């Protein structure tokens, strides 16, 4: 359905994306995950044809985006980070305007609009001015405009940003439903969102694709041993270095440093060895008191951290 091959976009200065490649099959809901500035929006804008790549190509159903952009665009529904809504229009007028823009035949427009209003849960608000809609309803309308021309592929850029918890739950449910009929690529930096909605996750970091797998498999594959979370009083680098010197410690990631003298870390231990006592005595000798120590299973959040924070993470020499 969607093929992204060696896609690069270089902006003047730094930033952009480098050599991104992946494909999405029909019917998949794929999460596109990455920290702020990783390159999600840049990639999505190239997939939707709004931005041209410096190198590489995008194919939708085998058709090259750059050569068949108008045909290919009709197969894509795009919800940008800020939906392109006109506040002074009513919901119905706006959807008619979008229907004209997307060349939906006039005789079909009434039926199509009623259909998308129902699917996105906006029925009854046709005459309301867009500026009077709540953020959640604006987002629903954003989704309605994205599916009005019945695209096969939906590209959603951070669709739950700025919503309250109830609206977030409703929009996620809606996306899941839309995923039954459409192929979905969903960008987010919210991990639970991916775990809840997506069967597959792509992780992008500093413009490069660093992972492509099922969320639960990623966690399992990267686990390779048990993990301890620690809070220690001491200088972050010194604590990290000391922990890495303990035989059996495979990796140490700083997850937070609330002050110059306190640090929270994630310690990955080789195999299933229980290193808690050794860690306790080693740090005690160094006058680095442990404020908290807990054994934990690796969550997708830990995986994400490991894959996307090299500043905080250090590995013991093998
Ligand atoms: N028009 C532009 N000109 C120059 N640099 C840009 C431009 N657009 C994006 N960038 C840079 O490219 C990188 C990727 O940006 P992008 O907006 O794609 O990231 P993102 O993953 O969508 O981030 P966010 O979650 O914050 O929206 C960033 O370093 C950004 O500063």
Q: Which residue ranges does the chain devote to CATH 3.40.50.300? A: 2-213
What ipTM did this prediction achieve? 0.94
**pLDDT for 313:** 45
Average pLDDT for runs of 10 along the chain of length 318? 93 87 92 87 91 91 77 84 89 95 91 91 92 90 91 90 80 86 87 82 89 75 71 95 93 88 89 84 96 77 66 47
Q: What are the structure tokens assigned to 108, written together?
A: 């079909």
pLDDT score recorded for residue 145: 94
Whether ligand 1 lies within 6 angstroms of the CB of 42 is answered as yes
Ranges in the chain annotated CATH 3.30.70.100? 221-305
Task: Say what the pLDDT of residue 311 is.
Answer: 44
pLDDT at 300: 65
This prediction's pTM: 0.72
- Average per-residue pLDDT for the chain: 86
Question: Rounded to the nearest whole angstrom, what is the distance from the C-alpha of residue 39 to the centroid of ligand 1?
Answer: 5
Task: Point out the ligand 1 atom lying closest to the alpha carbon of residue 16.
Answer: 12
Start-to-end CA distance of the chain, whole Å, equals 41
Question: Among 10, 13, 15, which is best to mutate for testing ligand 1, by the most ligand atoms less than 8 A from CB?
Answer: 15
Cα–Cα distance measured from residue 71 to residue 53, given in angstroms and rounded to the nearest whole number: 18
Per residue, the 3-state secondary structure of the chain, as one string, reads CEEEEEEEEECCCCCEEEEEEEEECCCCEEEEECCCCCCHHHHHHHHCCCCCCCEEEEEECCEECCCCHHHHHHCEEEECCCCCCCCCCEHHHHHHHHHHHCCCCHHHHHHHHHHHHHHCCCCCCCCCEHHHCCHHHHHHHHHHHHHCCCCCEEEEECCCCCCCHHHHHHHHHHHHHHHHHCEEEEEECCHHHHHHHCCEEEEEECCEEEEEECHHHHHHHHHCCCEEEEEEECCHHHHHHHHHCCCCEEEEEEEEEEECCEEEEEEEECCCCCCHHHHHHHHHHCCCCEEEEEEECCCHHHHHHHHHCCCCEEECCC
- How far is it between the farthest Cα atoms of the chain? 80
Atom of ligand 1 nearest to the CA of 81: 27
Which is the closest atom of ligand 1 to the Cα of 45?
18
**What's the token pair of residue 249?**
């410690």
CATH top class, domain 221-305: alpha beta
CATH number of 2-213: 3.40.50.300
Q: How many Å apart are CA 141 and CA 175, to the nearest integer?
A: 13
Q: 289 and 295 in contact (C-beta within 8 Å)?
A: no
* Ligand 1 close to Cβ of residue 38 (< 6 A): yes
- The C-alpha atoms of residue 224 and residue 161 are separated, in whole angstroms, by 34
């Amino acid at each position: 359905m969607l093929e992204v091959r060696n896609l690069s976009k270089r902006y003047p200065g730094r930033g952009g994306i480098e050599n991104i490649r992946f494909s999405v099959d029909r019917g998949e809901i794929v999460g596109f995950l990455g920290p702020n500035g990783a390159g999600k929006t840049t990639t999505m804008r190239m997939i939707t044809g709004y931005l041209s790549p410096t190198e590489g190509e995008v194919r939708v159903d085998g058709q090259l985006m750059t050569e068949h952009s108008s045909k290919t665009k009709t197969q894509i529904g795009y919800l940008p980070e800020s939906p392109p809504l006109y506040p002074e229009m009513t919901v119905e007028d706006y959807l008619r305007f979008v229907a004209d823009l997307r060349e939906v035949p006039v005789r079909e427009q009434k039926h199509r609009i009623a259909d998308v209003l129902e699917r996105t849960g906006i029925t009854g608000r046709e005459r309301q001015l867009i500026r009077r809609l709540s953020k959640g309803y604006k987002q629903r309308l954003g989704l309605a405009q994205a599916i009005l021309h019945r695209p096969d592929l939906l590209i959603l850029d951070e669709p739950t940003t700025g919503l309250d918890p109830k609206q977030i739950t409703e929009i996620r449910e809606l996306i899941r439903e839309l995923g039954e009929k459409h192929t979905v690529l969903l960008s987010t930096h919210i991990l639970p969102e991916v775990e809840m909605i997506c069967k597959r996750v792509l992780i992008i970091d500093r413009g490069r694709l660093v992972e492509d797998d099922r969320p639960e498999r990623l966690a399992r594959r990267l686990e390779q041993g048990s993990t301890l979370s620690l809070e220690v009083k001491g200088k972050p680098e010194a604590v990290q270095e000391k922990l890495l010197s303990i035989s059996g410690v495979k990796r140490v990631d700083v997850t937070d440093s609330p002050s110059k003298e306190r640090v929270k870390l994630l310690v990955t231990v080789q195999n299933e060895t229980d290193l808690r006592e050794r860690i306790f005595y080693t740090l005690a000798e160094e006058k680095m008191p442990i404020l908290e120590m807990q054994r934990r299973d690796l969550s997708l959040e830990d995986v994400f951290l490991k894959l996307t924070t090299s500043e905080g993470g250090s590995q013991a020499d093998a």
